[in-house]
Structure 1
Amino acid sequence: MIKPVEGFSKLTKEQKIDWLTTNYTKDPKAAKALLQRYWNDDTKVQKLHDEFIENTVTNFYLPFGVAPNFLINDKLYAIPMVIEESSVVAAASKAAKFWLNKGGFKTTVIGTEKIGQVHFMYHGDPTKLKSFFNSVKPKLLEKAAHITKNMKKRGGGITNIELKNKTDKLDHYFQLHCTFETLDAMGANFINSCLESFAETLKTESLANLDFSEKEKNIEIVMSILSNYVPNCVVRAEVSCPVDELNIDHQMPSKEFAQKIVQAVNIAQAEPHRAVTHNKGIMNGVDAVVLATGNDFRAIEAGVHAYAAKEEGYSSLTHAEVENEIFKFWIELPLALGTVGGLTSLHPLVKLALEILGKPSATELMQIVAVAGLAQNFAAIRSLVTTGIQEGHMKMHLLNILNQLGATEIEKTTLTNYFKKHTATHSSVVEAFQKLRQ
């Protein structure tokens, strides 16, 4: 029986591995060798990785690919993407090439406002709280001045603080709803530091407020935290061209192709079951670039899906229309990204990814990420309304299946050539492999 471990975080990496492999693997020697095989040979690089998180025992590798030929606002990009899913990079590259000679992608940053909140409980007269807030608001800003000093020098800082009465949702619940401009930083630490300062000042000043009763003075600060829902930190990306230029290698007439794309998007806007998968495809492109550039893809995912549900129900993040014989396809995404701070200045491959992108500002990165999501969605819909999604996906997945089967390089070449002319499914690949081995 495995016993709980005491002081695990204080063990050396080797001791952690010994404990882990001894207690949780069938072959500790083989498991230990596997973990060590993924260590970086450069001890300085490995130490850097060890210190990114707690209790590190090894590195987990994901492919770092690149999708070339993205023309964005008349500038050509090769976009780094980190992802494990077959066909994502290929699909993005195909969409980039498709739009390259049609004007490329156009983008607009609609807003860059980020949000944080101080959540608190107040038992008393809301009008007295409102009056108190109005009087104390300048002091909230004053007490946080040491935190905002450097950000303000660069043109950012706190843009507003509002008192919001949320008692219609929860008894006695109020909040300070605060907005920020954090420039090229994602800004989480800055925002959270400001919020904690606001909370401390709010509590201190309420205790000294002579207009409050003893009960009203006892404001209960529940928590102070940024929000990953940023509906005013939004970027738009779009493509457009005359319908008759939507040439898809004679798979379908251009007009029919345009109509089917519009119908496919309309279905994703009307049907949540389809919208979830539709938007997941968008996030294949978005997350891959977010991860490659050292940003928080979990935060982006949460905020984007909340944005997709901001109206009556969960719906498509992309839109399409044909008007006056012009096809237009676009997306709006909330993206709170950073190009300074965090992993952007630590992880060697993140630094390289940002260099490949021309060392973009946060707003430039927002535009690149949105384009990656739009391109991915266009490629997916194009496959769905023409050949179907499986033909291209399974051909890209072919090598994964062959590797699982233990195919040799010669067998991989033979079967790759075979499936250029035949439909690849998991069962058909296994059957062809077995026949080849016989």
Structure 2
Amino acid sequence: MKNPVSGFSKLTKTEKINWLTTHYFEGNISAKNTLEQYWNTNLSLQKLHDDFIENTISNYYLPLGVAPNFLINDTLYTIPMVIEESSVVAAASNAAKFWLEKGGFKAEIISTTKNGQVHFNYFGNFNDLQTFFNETKPALISGIETLQTNMKKRGGGLIDITLVDSTKKLEGYYQLHCTFETLDAMGANFINSCLETIATIFESKTQEYTPFKISEKTPEIVMSILSNFVPECTVKASVSCPVESLTVGKISGQVFAEKLTRAVAIAKAEPRRAVTHNKGIMNGVDAVILATGNDFRAVEAGVHAFAAKNGNYSSLTHAAIENGIFTFWIELPLALGTVGGLTSLHPLVKFAFDLLQKPNAKELMKIVAVAGLAQNFAALKSLVTTGIQKGHMKMHLMNILNGLNATSTEKEQAIEHYKTNPVSHSNVVTFISNLRDIK
């Protein structure tokens, strides 16, 4: 068993690495070299990255790729994507090209309201609580005015506070449900600061309220925190065209449209399929969120809750054929920001926003939703035609070759060979081994 360490965060980066290599790698210098080779030679840039989180020891690189030819609301975009999965950017690019000459993608904002709650216990008379809330609400609102100054200047801020009785879910459980407009900021810090101030005022006022004193039943604050479930902050993206325009190879447009629509229906009906279906959507969504310095964990949590909002986990996309027109669309809850956090700190995030023509938060929501829809279309197109593995394994080929330390000549020969042969790890190993035996 390893001994615990005290004061680790106070060590320099070099001291942290020395401790790690001594205790976990038996002083092996290669572990230290691996970490240091990923340091940026630009010292000021490396210092910036070191300060993003605590106990930084190196940088962990993921590829930044781009998917061109996205026509969204008649504007052409090249979308930045950060992801390690080999086929994602290629699939997005293929979907963008497919729809480019069919009118492209359409996207619209449905709503932009975010929310948070003050959670508290109360085991007394509900009428007393309701009366107290009604009397105290103006003080709760006025109490956060200084926190809202800048946000309100931009047209945002607190929208409303409501008292929510959640005692049917949990005995004695109530909420102050607060709704906000945060404009181009994701708004987490702003919302949490407001909620904590509201909770403090609410708690102090309870001490002065006579009915609580008489009954000896006083509300007790449990916690105050924003919610990453934002079903009132949603965006819709769609594509549409006549079915005859959907011909894929030897498959007619009508047959292809029916197959894809059926695939979506299966994902709506079967949660086991829906999870993988939606994971493919999030390949595109997360890649753009990472590239733009937003919080993909928050989005993931909110999106999957949205997929289960009707009591069963289901497809996030929808498809229909009506009067000879095929329509494919998605609605997503996306709380995103284009200011604050990493958006103004990370140089590659700045590059990504410049590449996207400096979108505001609403425009970014549209772009991200389109990326998710495109990713799902590309996956379904493969599934109902050639199968998912043919394209995926061709893209994965380079990873296998790199794992085998293939030379540039061996890679060229392998790529040519697998243009007409199925790819698997074992047969690539055999192919490279045979090449080397010939030599």
Q: Report the alpha carbon displacement of residue 430 of structure 1 after superposing the two structures with TM.
A: 1.4
Shift of 1:25: 1.8
Secondary structure at the residue paired with 1:211?
helix
Distance 1:145 1:216, change over 3 A: farther
Secondary structure in 2 matching 1:266: helix
Relative distance call for 1:216 and 1:335 in structure 2 (3 A) is: farther
Q: Deviations for 1:392-419, whole angstroms, at most 9, x for unmatched residues?
A: 0000000000001110111011101110
Paired letter, 2:386: T
Corresponding residue of 1:92: 92
Residue deviations 1:159-196 (CA, integer Å, cap 9, x gap): 01000011111111101001000000000000000000
CA shift digits 1:197-239 (9 cap, x unpaired): 1100000011011232355563211100000000000000000
| Cα pair 1:206 1:217 within 8 Å, conserved | no
Q: Which residue of 2 aligns with 1:391?
A: 390
SS at structure 2 position matched to 1:176: strand
Aligned twin of 1:313: 312
> Which residue of 1 is the match for residue 12 of structure 2?
12
Separation of aligned partners in 1, 2:412 and 2:126 = 73
Partner deviation per Cα, 1:33-86 (whole Å, 9 max, x = no partner) = 110000001000000000000000000000000000000000000000000001
CA offset digits 1:229-256 (Å, max 9, x no partner): 00000000000000001122x2311110
Q: Who is 1:380 aligned against?
A: 379
CA distance in 1, matches of 2:216, 2:256: 64
* Paired residues of 1:70 and 1:100 also in contact (CA < 8 A): yes
Task: Confirm or deny that 1:30 pairs with 2:30.
Answer: yes
2:252 counterpart letter in structure 1: P
In structure 2, C-alpha distance between the alignment counterparts of 1:33 and 1:241, rounded to whole Å: 55
Q: Report matched runs for 1:36-435 at 5 Å.
A: 36-213=36-213, 216=216, 218-248=218-248, 250-435=249-434
Distance 2:237 2:49 in 1: 34
Amino acid at match of 1:292: A
Work out the CA distance in 1 between the residues paired with 2:26 and 2:401.
26
Contact 1:290 1:297 in 2 (8 A): yes
How far apart, in 2, do the equivalents of 1:217 and 1:28 lie?
A: 62
Q: Is the contact made by 2:112 and 2:233 (CA closer than 8 Å) also made in structure 1?
A: yes
Report the secondary structure of 1:180's partner residue: strand
Deviations 1:333-359 (A, max 9, x none): 000000000000000000100110011
On the 8 A contact 1:87/1:397 being kept in 2, the answer is: yes
Report the CA distance between 1:2 and its aligned residue: 2.3
Letter in 2 for 1:288: A
Paired residues of 2:207 and 2:213 also in contact (CA < 8 A)? no
Counterpart CA distance in 1 for 2:348 and 2:27 is 33
Q: Cα gap change, 1:124/1:31 in structure 2, threshold over 3 Å: closer, same or farther?
A: same
Distance 2:214 2:51 in 1: 48
- Supply the AA of the counterpart residue of 1:114: K
Q: TM-score, structure 2 length as denominator?
A: 0.98
Deviation larger for 298-307 or 205-214 = 205-214
Q: Does the Cα contact within 8 Å between 2:184 and 2:362 map onto a contact in 1?
A: yes
Deviation at 1:87, TM superposition (A): 0.5
State the 1:123 CA deviation: 2.1
Give the residue type in structure 2 aligned to 1:395.
K
Whether the aligned pair in 1 keeps the contact of 2:81 and 2:291 (CA below 8 Å) is: yes
Unaligned runs of 5+ in 2: none
Structure 2 distance, partners of 1:387, 1:253, is 14
Contact 2:136-2:205 within 8 A present in 1 as well: yes
Paired residues of 1:207 and 1:217 also in contact (CA < 8 A): no
Q: Matches of 2:178 and 2:378 in 1, distance apart?
A: 39
* Compared CA separation, residues 131 and 399, structure 1 to 2 (3 A): same
- Partner SS for 1:332: strand
Distance 1:40 1:335 in 2: 33
Pairing 1:437–2:422 present: no
Task: Please give the secondary structure, in 2, of the residue aligned with 1:89.
Answer: helix
Give the 3 Å change call, closer, same or farther, for CA 403–176 of structure 1 in structure 2.
same
Work out the percentage of aligned pairs sharing the same amino acid: 65
Structure 1: any 5+ residue segments left out of the alignment?
Answer: none
One-letter amino acid of the structure 1 residue matched with residue 384 of structure 2:
V
Cα distance in 2, alignment partners of residues 405 and 415 from structure 1: 12
C-alpha separation in 1, matches of 2:288 and 2:237: 15
2:370 and 2:250 map into 1 onto residues whose CA distance is 25
Which amino acid in the other structure matches residue 318 of structure 2? H
